[in-house]
Structure formats: structure tokens, C-alpha cells
Amino acid sequence: MFFFFSSCKKDSTLFELRSPDQTGISFNNEIIESDSFNILTDEYIFNGGGVAIADFDQNGLPDLFFTGNQVSNRLYLNEGEFKFKDISESAGIMAADKWCTGSVIVDINNDGWPDIYVAAAMKKRSRRAEQPFVCQSGQRCFRSDYLQRNGR
């Protein structure tokens, strides 16, 4: 008597790695150390950035916002099928002169559009008033000067 067992187990994964060429997302929060800027001179150097997900253009798809430390922030609009469009420069959210550490999404002015508050750190004499804030004001462009124009 012979018994023969066979398994047709197919390897399946929940996620599939996609390249920047496939997705349009090329964000890398690279930290470059030097003799004068490193873990010994700035203890929070590797605390990292952050990511926030919201439907910024209200097309029903989740868009991505990344905060950067030594690199600029990036905003990617979801065009469907895992394809994203980088609108960072035209949206005015890059904050290249800030060490951005995280963000939160809130509709701060109750207009139905998600707004972005970005936390920034590691700058000498920084004040809360200098933190980046992006308010959409019901348009597809972001306005970082919203608070100044509205007396806040």
C-alpha cells in the first residue's frame, strides 16, 4: 500500500513591493551626519519624520503626506491603481528650511477640507507661531499663510 501526499500551497503575501517608478512615490527621509551634526551633538537626530493620510482632493482615494527632516516634505495625490502624483512644489508644503517631525490632519476651519498641521523641531529659538500650517481653504491648492492673512 502506497500513500502519496501532495501539497499545492501557493505562496501568498498580503503586500507587494512596488517601485517608485510604479507608484510615483520617491520620498526618502535620509539623514546625513557630519562631524558637527550627529547623534552626539543633537540627540534627537534620528527621531524621524511622519506620514499622514487623508483625502486631500476629495476624490475618494487616500492621499499621502510625508514630513522630512533634512529633506523637503512631500504631498502625493492618489490617482488610483497605486499611482500617485507629487504636487509638493505647487502645493507650497515643502518647508525645506524646517526640521519637520510629524503632522496631523484636521479640518481646522470647518470648511470640509482636511488641513495639515506640521510639527517642527531642532531649530534654535523656534516658536510655535513659526510651525508650518497648511490650510486648503476649500481649494486644491494649499495656503501656508492662512493664519497670517486671517489674523491668527
pTM, two decimals, is: 0.76
Q: What pLDDT digit, counting tens, does each position of 36-81 carry? A: 999 898 888 888 788 999 999 999 999 999 999 999 999 999 999 9
Question: Could you tell me if 54 and 63 are in contact, meaning their C-beta atoms sit under 8 angstroms apart?
Answer: yes
Per-residue model confidence (pLDDT) at position 4: 61
pLDDT > 70: percent of the chain: 74
Count of other CB atoms within 10 angstroms of residue 54: 19
135/147 Cα distance (integer angstroms): 8
Task: Report how far Cα 129 is from the mean position of its chain's Cα atoms.
Answer: 21
The helix (H) or strand (E) run that includes residue 51 is strand 51-54
Predicted local confidence at residue 13, as pLDDT: 84
Distances (CA, A) of 48 to 13, 57, 99, 115: 28, 27, 10, 22
Between CA 20 and CA 2 the distance in angstroms is 52
